[in-house]
Structure 1
Amino acid sequence: MTTIAGIHIPDSIMAREATDLVRDTETELLYHHSRRVFLFGALAGERKQLKYDPELLYIGAMFHDMGLVAPYSSEHERFEVDGANAARDFLRRHGIGEDDIEQVWTSIALHTTPGIPQHMKPVVALVTAGVEMDVLGLAYDEFTEEERHAVTHAHPRGAHFKENIIDAFTQGIIHKPHTTFGNVKADVLELKDPHYHRENFCTMILGSSWKE
């Protein structure tokens, strides 16, 4: 069993299969990012003394960006939903109960929806906490320097991670810009796609079929 920053990486058959699947499917950038999301999420859980299932957290973290890559990226769904659906199907093949599957599905589906996951079950909250730490640096100072070093030594961010992760988001969603309405990925396309037109909630209301 591998231990990083005091966190044990789940080593069940299911967890190993998830690791192999993600490593074979995603880029190195996304693979290492996903492992860091698990580790930072687990560290946040330990610090907050939350009771959570490490294996479910691991699956949520490892699958959270699967919707950015083929063959899991659909034409019409948000990439978060694609990743959540991939995790759901994977967990069902392993005989996991529907309540646990729902936690993992929700953790992935909501990981780019600020302000909600932290009020939900620990697995849901901690996937988002891991993502927010690794991508946005939120709660950076709540992790010790030793923890940050151990995680990034095992799973390096690499040069230009900030630009590269934005590029990875862009490549995963640029073919379906309509799925960014109302979520943070609209900012990605606004930065990277000169042809992107951000939909406006108020414009939709004012232009609806209702007379008044």
Structure 2
Amino acid sequence: MATSSNLRLRDLKAPDSRASIAAYELAADYHSPALLNHVLRSWHWARGFAAMESRSTFDDELLYVAALLHDIGIVEPFDNHTLSYEEAGGHVAVALTTGAGWPRDRRVRAKDVIIRHNWAAVDPSIDLEGYLLEAGTALDITGARSGDLPSSFVGEVLKKYPRLTVAHEFTACVSAQAERKPSTAAQRIVDSGLEQKMLKHPFEAARSE
């Protein structure tokens, strides 16, 4: 397992289970290249934080499936009229993992992890996978804890999964969610300065140098 002293992209192998493969295929089919790279980076960042914090008891298949599907609710075919996009994505994960034969409790866990990625913080003692996904997505979207992972690892991930137009695409998608569903987390995210955080993201600055 990758540790803080030897964290390399090549050591992070995506699970090859039925659910993991299906989650990747679904994300690839419905996400733009920029959003697909975002969800893939989010899993890598989550795994990176796990290594840096010596956390080894997480369920990587669960984390991977949740990471790949955590934003599926912002794409039009899965956009829900009333539910938040993270709740909609959680239900997509339930459907996918049901087909993969996951027991009900684990299917619910996938939904919970996706919903909690939009929490302001997640207690790792309560939900380790939710904590890791929140940390990974926060890094990729707002730049939170951008200095906590080794620069060599960050560079490898960004080279393989470049940011492309994610700053503009994600801002537009979440802003549309907030406008139509102002009582959901999307509104809080927009109000917290999403657009400027994404445009001034340290990884965006590095990309333009």
Structure 2 residue 119 is matched with structure 1 residue 94 = no
Percent identity between the two aligned chains: 21
Q: Which residue of structure 1 lines up, in the alignment, with residue 131 of structure 2?
A: 125
Superposition deviation, residue 84 in structure 1 = 0.7
Question: Any stretches of 5+ residues in structure 1 without a counterpart?
Answer: 192-212
Structure 2 residue 77 is matched with structure 1 residue 71 = yes
Distance 2:142 2:194 in 1: 17
Distance 1:6 1:181 in 2: 34
Distance 1:63 1:117 in 2: 21
Superposition deviation, residue 189 in structure 1 = 9.1
Superposition deviation, residue 89 in structure 1 = 1.2
Structure 2 residue 106 is matched with structure 1 residue 103 = no
Contact 2:121–2:131 (8 Å) recurs in 1: no
Q: What does the per-residue CA deviation read over 1:84-108, in whole Å, with 9 as the maximum and x for residues that have no partner?
A: 1111111111111223222221111
Matches within 5 A, 1:1-212: 4-50=9-55, 51-158=57-164, 161-180=166-185, 183-187=188-192
Letter in 1 for 2:85: F
Superposition deviation, residue 181 in structure 1 = 7.9
Task: Tell me the C-alpha RMSD between the 2 structures.
Answer: 2.4
Question: Any stretches of 5+ residues in structure 2 without a counterpart?
Answer: 1-7, 197-209
Letter in 1 for 2:151: E
Letter in 2 for 1:52: F
Q: Which has the larger radius of gyration?
A: 1
Superposition deviation, residue 63 in structure 1 = 0.7
Which deviates further from its counterpart, 7-16 or 105-114? 7-16
Q: Which residue of structure 2 lines up, in the alignment, with residue 204 of structure 1?
A: none
Indicate how the Cα distance of structure 1 residues 146 and 182 shifts in structure 2: closer, same or farther if over 3 A, else same. Answer: same
Indicate how the Cα distance of structure 1 residues 173 and 188 shifts in structure 2: closer, same or farther if over 3 A, else same. Answer: farther
Indicate how the Cα distance of structure 1 residues 181 and 72 shifts in structure 2: closer, same or farther if over 3 A, else same. Answer: closer
Distance 1:47 1:23 in 2: 29
Q: Tell me how many residue pairs correspond in the alignment.
A: 188
Contact 1:63–1:87 (8 Å) recurs in 2: yes
Distance 1:111 1:71 in 2: 21
Distance 1:98 1:123 in 2: 17
Q: TM-score, normalised by structure 1?
A: 0.79
Contact 1:110–1:117 (8 Å) recurs in 2: no
